[in-house]
Structure 1
């Protein structure tokens, strides 16, 4: 099974709408949106995401634990690289619930499970980088470029993803006048989960977004990815302009 995070997925869109409502102070509307996501979920991947958000909206610790364990069970059923990064977060949330319920044995067991999944990403790719630059096989991409998301910010890392559509989005939002390019790359050194997306809106690193201080070597070019429409592109630019979040550099 090889699931890719898709921002146009119905359940993911409902959860994003719920999070936006929550940010605007409409907690009741957000909860309804997450319930709708759960009812419209058609497979374990969608149920894992919806249950996670429903867990956070529960007033009782027992209900929160029930939804978080449901989310974990769905994630484990999938057993896919695209969700393994969420295991640590799910076990951690479950451990905290058990701790609040004074069930210290189960809390300890889940903290240990959380720690066992924490650490350097084990993702083996293939990996992609989106840009408007015209590059060749063998070229090295290095840190120190300007951020696409914050004017005047020099980036300490070079970013990449295992999701070709995610790299395509980065290419669409990249500075420059060249055509959008998605290159196949290989990291030349260690890399880490991108902290700007990991555990921010969704558990773990579902977009499989990474960064490295070491160069990325171009090994080919990808030509198949979902191109943004003109309206989707302007919507992304508008949301980025409104975003107040700090970039972790």
Structure 2
């Protein structure tokens, strides 16, 4: 099995308090993505549509809910039909009571209209949340219980309170940008099943980000005597220039670059090339990609996080002595001129 049947109303037949609401009978102007569920321990989750209030077909506003959303009991979607005319002295809706008062029935154009209510993908909405008309909630957002959402919610952010306000962002801006491009909810069933561990773990996002840059394997050249399981961290003196404290640890996806690292490293020991695994996100090394090789054909990277030693390359060949000496001479000349070879 690679997951529950997305076409079933109850994905787990033993739990009748949770149902996939995309499989309920269709309603006009309501769109719900696959795998989105509604949970209700007090009454049947099949009554989800009761939570959509003041939704009149003639107004044309839509409730759009994305895929893989988790909606708790008591959530209310207030639609545009709840709005009263607000440009007069009173907001009292005389017209709905008839008996002559219908003479002041407003036109649709005279009523406030906030547009569609749009809930993104992978959104978690807590118990008893109220979502006002025309609200847009971004992918990956979390709305805490009992919140009243009166303004749009940014992707991958946590909102709570009445009125709901930003509590915190779930990830850095860089990570959010990546996730919005990743759109894992659009993957096929097999792809999701294969990546479940990564989708539900803290390290998964780092894995996907690094893989999008380079799938590896990665190497680090040095003269340090290390063993599998050891961690490399920023803060040691650089191998180049004035040997300032390095803010990054450097790694590469090519053996040639790793060989240079091993040969040029400071220290008295022999050069070593280790296979490393980044624990945090990596980025292109600007010392090469910005200065020498646009597009990063050398697959040179750096990180402010740790690198874990996962193995050692024992059979590697160094550069010819004259080639190595030429590189050392060039580095020495840069040092003499006060030019840092590494912009760290």
> With CA pairs under 8 Å and 6+ residues apart, which has the higher RCO, 1 or 2?
1
| Between structures 1 and 2, the one with greater strand share | 2
Could you state the TM-score of these two structures normalised by the residue count of structure 1? 0.50
In our comparison, the structure showing a higher alpha carbon Rg is 2
